[in-house]
């Protein structure tokens, strides 16, 4: 059955079936062939969406979407341009730094790409950057949304791995910072190597005014991390508080969000929010099928056969070794 599960999943994956549907269909095939009651499909799929922290996923996604239309993106990019716009290949560095800052607001690489990429990709192309380089920088920098808190991936991992989401958020800061600095170093090396990025069309803003305009939008991660670490609210409650913060700031301070645009963003969120939830639900079903057919126990036995300890380390057995009597004298 395990072979059928993996073969069917691989065939569906090769046929370019979406991953969530490939997980579901391969699991359903094994359940039907194995004589398991089909009601298990509904039960286990529903269990994948019942953990309380999972409610934070649509809330964080809404925070990212509303930040794009509420004026957060422009202020974050102005601050990034003021900080690193003067470096060689300045717009590429602005792309990376803006993605780092926006990741702390949205927690979603999708919202990061939509907000930062839609503005900076045309600017980089007009400035003479090649299309492959521009797309590569935007795609790589947007992945920091999965590392820098509040990360939706960390919420999912913490919910199902029984790990503190607050501690995961704290642990993501330094790796996210190092990832961004590494990307900036690579961009600078490529720009020097191929001699481009000497001039950018946009004027570099002054740091203090840009910092003043971007300070309140950057308060989102402070509210989330500070509230969780301080014990004020749970990760799910922090997502709701962050959403209220973004709504209040966009409506009453920045005044760039209207009821009409809010309704449009809610409609857009209704199309995209179910995607990660469906992925999680079908992955839980797939994992249950593996556990039902004792796949973890099989892997443990295989590991033991090759000399692995329960901690993942490999040990060498000396019981079968003999030494000559002369060596012991």
Residue 236 is given by DSSP the state: H
pLDDT at 149 over 80: yes
User: For residue 15, is it within any domain?
Assistant: yes
* Pair of tokens at residue 116: 């930062």
User: For residue 264, is it within any domain?
Assistant: no
User: For residue 268, is it within any domain?
Assistant: no
Q: Is 170 helix (H, G, I), strand (E, B) or coil?
A: helix
Look at the block and give the residue holding tokens 């922290």. Answer: 53
Query: What is the chain's mean pLDDT, rounded?
Result: 80
Residues 243-252, mean pLDDT to the nearest whole number: 87
**Do 32 and 82 fall into the same domain?**
no
pLDDT tens, position by position, 192-211: 888 877 655 455 667 777 77
**Do 8 and 144 fall into the same domain?**
no
Q: Using alpha carbons only, what angle is made at residue 234 by residues 152 and 272, rounded to the nearest 5 degrees?
A: 30
Q: How confident is the model at residue 308 (pLDDT cuts 50, 70, 90)?
A: low
Residue 253 is given by DSSP the state: I
**Do 21 and 164 fall into the same domain?**
no
* Pair of tokens at residue 243: 């959403």
User: For residue 315, is it within any domain?
Assistant: no
pLDDT tens, position by position, 11-35: 998 998 988 899 999 999 988 888 8
**Do 70 and 157 fall into the same domain?**
yes
Look at the block and give the residue holding tokens 């062939």. Answer: 33
Q: Is 228 helix (H, G, I), strand (E, B) or coil?
A: helix
Number of domains in the chain: 2
User: For residue 277, is it within any domain?
Assistant: no
**Do 58 and 81 fall into the same domain?**
yes
Q: How confident is the model at residue 185 (pLDDT cuts 50, 70, 90)?
A: very high
**Do 121 and 103 fall into the same domain?**
yes
Look at the block and give the residue holding tokens 């980089």. Answer: 124
pLDDT tens, position by position, 249-305: 888 887 877 888 888 888 877 877 787 788 888 888 888 888 888 877 888 887 777
Q: Note down the domain range covering 185.
A: 53-257
The confidence score (pLDDT) of residue 4 equals 87
Instruction: Please tell me which residue, 36 or 309, carries the higher pLDDT value.
Output: 36
**Do 12 and 130 fall into the same domain?**
no
* Pair of tokens at residue 88: 């060689």
**Do 216 and 149 fall into the same domain?**
yes
**Do 91 and 174 fall into the same domain?**
yes
Q: How far is 172 from 87, CA to CA, in rounded Å?
A: 26
CA dist list (Å): 70 to 97, 238, 278: 20, 19, 28
pLDDT at 65 over 50: yes
User: For residue 209, is it within any domain?
Assistant: yes
User: Within 13 Å and on the Cβ side, how many CA atoms surround 162?
Assistant: 0
**Do 194 and 61 fall into the same domain?**
yes
User: For residue 319, is it within any domain?
Assistant: no
User: For residue 266, is it within any domain?
Assistant: no
Percentage of the residues of the chain whose pLDDT score is greater than 70: 91
**Do 73 and 213 fall into the same domain?**
yes
**Do 57 and 46 fall into the same domain?**
no
């Amino acid at each position: 059955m395990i072979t059928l599960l993996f073969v069917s999943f691989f065939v569906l994956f090769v046929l370019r079936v979406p991953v969530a549907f490939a997980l579901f269909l391969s699991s359903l095939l094994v359940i039907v062939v194995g004589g398991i009651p089909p009601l298990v499909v509904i039960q286990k799929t529903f269990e994948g969406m019942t953990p309380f922290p999972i409610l934070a996923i649509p809330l964080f996604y809404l925070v990212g979407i509303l930040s794009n239309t509420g004026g957060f993106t422009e202020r974050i990019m102005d601050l990034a341009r003021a900080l690193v716009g003067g470096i060689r290949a300045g717009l590429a560095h602005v792309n990376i730094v803006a993605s780092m800052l926006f990741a702390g607001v949205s927690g979603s690489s999708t919202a990061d790409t939509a907000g930062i990429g839609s503005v900076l990709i045309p600017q980089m192309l007009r400035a003479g950057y090649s299309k492959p380089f521009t797309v590569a920088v935007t795609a790589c920098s947007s992945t920091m949304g999965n590392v820098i808190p509040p990360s939706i991936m960390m919420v999912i991992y913490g919910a199902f791995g029984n790990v503190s989401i607050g501690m995961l958020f704290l642990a993501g800061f330094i790796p996210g910072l190092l990832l961004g600095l590494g990307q900036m170093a690579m961009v600078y090396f490529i720009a020097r190597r191929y001699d481009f990025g000497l001039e950018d069309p946009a004027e570099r803003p002054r740091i203090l005014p840009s910092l003043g305009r971007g300070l309140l939008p950057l308060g989102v991660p402070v509210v989330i991390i500070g509230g969780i670490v301080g014990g004020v609210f749970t990760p799910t409650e922090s997502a709701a508080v962050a959403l209220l913060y973004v709504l209040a700031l966009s409506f009453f301070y920045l005044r760039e969000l209207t009821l009409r645009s809010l309704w449009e963003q809610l409609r857009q969120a209704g199309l995209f929010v179910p995607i990660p939830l469906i992925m999680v639900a079908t992955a839980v079903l797939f994992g249950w099928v593996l556990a039902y057919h004792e796949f973890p126990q099989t892997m443990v036995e295989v590991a033991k056969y090759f000399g692995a300890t329960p901690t993942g380390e490999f040990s060498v057995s000396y019981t079968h070794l003999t030494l000559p009597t002369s060596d012991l004298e």
